[in-house]
A and B are shown apart, each in its own frame.
Chain A
Amino acid sequence: QQQVKQSPQSLIVQKGGIPIINCAYENTAFDYFPWYQQFPGKGPALLIAIRPDVSEKKEGRFTISFNKSAKQFSLHIMDSQPGDSATYFCAASTSGTYKYIFGTGTRLKVLA
């Protein structure tokens, strides 16, 4: 119940494409859902986050779509660029502990 399932494991898109990464959870107590970007040998960097009272949030080229009833959320990257090639992790946490449960990660490659 504490797991966050992430798919796909890897993704290749052409420059300008819109990669979509999906995550699903079971624990309805989760109330904060961030997405992180990680480059090799670096720590994760916060991209965007959403709470369950909002169905969509957009920041720059990154959009989170949230479906509370389905317990799913996804990351869309608009106009993807080769510099977006990285590993993306979704996560979920609950108020109180604020411990993050991470998804398994998606390795994205954007071809020039």
Chain B
Amino acid sequence: GAVVSQHPSWVICKSGTSVKIECRSLDFQATTMFWYRQFPKQSLMLMATSNEGSKATYEQGVEKDKFLINHASLTLSTLTVTSAHPEDSSFYICSAREAGFIPEAFFGQGTRLTVV
């Protein structure tokens, strides 16, 4: 399957600072990328859909100003958690799919964010 690389794998930051997470499709062009949040022993909750060259679409209840998403190229999307607080600590996962009518989405390895 296609490879999606997420960086960093884990990050610890101080409360009030911002953290950027990168999601790259390594061997295909991803017109659409998705960002999920997963709490321990829970399912994946979609945060936003990111389309290359356009603004991200956020799910209901997700703060746009808190979670900034940029999809500037066909292989890279970034999620920036701004002014992070301990409640933002979670496992963040991206997925990517190719252009066209291909429904398969491939997931990155996830980023464990801990805000202290």
Chain B interface residue count, CB cutoff 8 Å, equals 26
**Residue B34 lies at the interface, judged by CB distance under 8 Å to chain A:** yes
A43 contacts B6, CB within 8 Å?
yes
Chain B residues with Cβ below 8 Å from A97 are 49
B43-56: CB near A (< 8 Å → 1, else 0) gives: 11110010000000
Chain A residues with Cβ below 8 Å from B41 are 105, 107
Chain B residues with Cβ below 8 Å from A34 are 103-105
B-facing residues in A81-111 (Cβ within 8 Å): 89, 93, 95, 97-105, 107
CA distance A101 to B41 in the complex (A): 17
**Residue B24 lies at the interface, judged by CB distance under 8 Å to chain A:** no
Chain A residues with Cβ below 8 Å from B91 are 41
B107 contacts A105, CB within 8 Å?
no
Q: Report the minimum CB–CB distance from B53 to chain A (whole Å).
A: 17
CA distance A45 to B106 in the complex (A): 7
Please classify how large the interface on chain A is, using the bins under 10, 10 to 19, 20 to 34, 35 or more.
20 to 34
Chain B residues with Cβ below 8 Å from A93 are 103
Q: Report the minimum CB–CB distance from A12 to chain B (whole Å).
A: 16
Q: Chain A contact residues: over half helix, strand or loop, or mixed?
A: loop
Other A-B pairs beyond A31-B103, A34-B104, A41-B110, 6, CB < 8 Å: A43-B109, A44-B107, A46-B1, A93-B103, A95-B101, A98-B97
Interface residues of A (CB under 8 A from B): 31-32, 34, 36, 41-46, 49, 89, 93, 95, 97-105, 107
Q: Report the minimum CB–CB distance from B75 to chain A (whole Å).
A: 17
**Residue B79 lies at the interface, judged by CB distance under 8 Å to chain A:** no
CA distance A97 to B34 in the complex (A): 11
A-facing residues in B82-116 (Cβ within 8 Å): 91, 93, 95, 97, 101, 103-110, 112
Which of A43, A101, A107 is within 8 Å of B107, CB to CB?
A: A43
